[in-house]
Structure 1
Amino acid sequence: MFKSGAVTIEVEDLNKAEQFYVETLGLKVQFKIEGHLVQVEAPGLAIGLVQPRAGQESHSGKSGSIHIALEVQELDSAVKLLESRGVEFQPIMEEGATKIAYFSDPEGNPLYLIELKH
């Protein structure tokens, strides 16, 4: 029934958000609507970065009810790579068959890397 999925995040500074998701995290740009939207992709996930148009209320970083997970093969090396690019992580958590490292984008939106031990 479903073909694919996407998450949309409101941001106040579209250029800064694009730089973080593309240059820091290494995601690829799918398409842009100049000054309003940049959609980036990770394997199996599209993330729309939307800057409200003039006169529209912004909800950027206010909710905290969404967390974006990016699965990695090896968490420790992914954390080291992103730390070298300026990303600050909370302490790595291990529980059962998972290792998780939480961080935030420049707008304060929560993300985490997860390693699933198979």
Structure 2
Amino acid sequence: MNQIASISVYVHDLGAAKRFYVETLGFVVEETMGDYGFKLSHPGVSLVVLSGGKRAEPGYPAGVVLGIPVSNAEQAAQRLRKAGATLVIGSPEPFPLGRFIAAADPSGNVVELLELTQP
């Protein structure tokens, strides 16, 4: 068990999830699986989105959080606001490798957008 086969996100609305991940975050649909879900790609990572998710409680869920690098956290927050996304952390906050903001997808899964200033 020394590799990861997939990263999956369970959602309650496949259409809303597809709009969020594709139109708002820039993922590309790699494969569709009917009513079951779809596979997305983003430079360097693939993500499987599956039907049947339970909405997360407010704040961060006890689960997988996706981290996507961005060149500017403020601009990323503006883009997400313009797209109507729910921001969990809307103003950049520091962390050891830079700054980040966080948004929730339509099912409540948290996605962090990371402005990396340290390698």
Q: TM-score range by the shorter chain?
A: 0.7 to 0.9
Take 1:78 and 1:114, find their aligned partners in 2: how far apart are those partners? Answer: 9
Residue 60 of structure 1: CA displacement? 5.0
What is the aligned-residue RMSD (CA, Å)?
A: 2.1
More strand by percentage = 2
**Unaligned runs of at least 5 residues, structure 1:** 53-57
Q: How many residues align?
A: 112
Q: Which of the two has higher C-alpha Rg?
A: 1
For residues 60 and 10 of structure 1, do their structure 2 counterparts lie closer, same or farther at Cα, with a shift above 3 Å needed? farther
* TM-score, length-scaled by structure 1: 0.81
Take 2:9 and 2:95, find their aligned partners in 1: how far apart are those partners? Answer: 28
- The reply on whether 1:80 has 2:78 as its aligned counterpart is yes
* TM-score, length-scaled by structure 2: 0.80
Take 1:36 and 1:84, find their aligned partners in 2: how far apart are those partners? Answer: 29
Aligned with 2:7: secondary structure?
strand
**Unaligned runs of at least 5 residues, structure 2:** none
Residue 41 of structure 1: CA displacement? 1.3
Alignment of 1:75-114 (within 5 A): 75-89=73-87, 90=89, 91-114=91-114
Take 2:19 and 2:95, find their aligned partners in 1: how far apart are those partners? Answer: 32
Q: Which moved more, 1:31-40 or 1:73-82?
A: 73-82
Residue 5 of structure 1: CA displacement? 5.7
Take 1:59 and 1:86, find their aligned partners in 2: how far apart are those partners? Answer: 21
Aligned with 1:46: secondary structure?
strand
* Aligned residue identity for 2:14: L
Is the CA contact 1:6–1:45 (under 8 Å) kept in the aligned structure 2?
no
Partner in structure 2 of residue 47 of structure 1: 47
Take 1:64 and 1:38, find their aligned partners in 2: how far apart are those partners? Answer: 23
Q: Which moved more, 1:85-94 or 1:12-21?
A: 85-94
Residue 96 of structure 1: CA displacement? 4.2
Is the CA contact 1:13–1:51 (under 8 Å) kept in the aligned structure 2?
yes
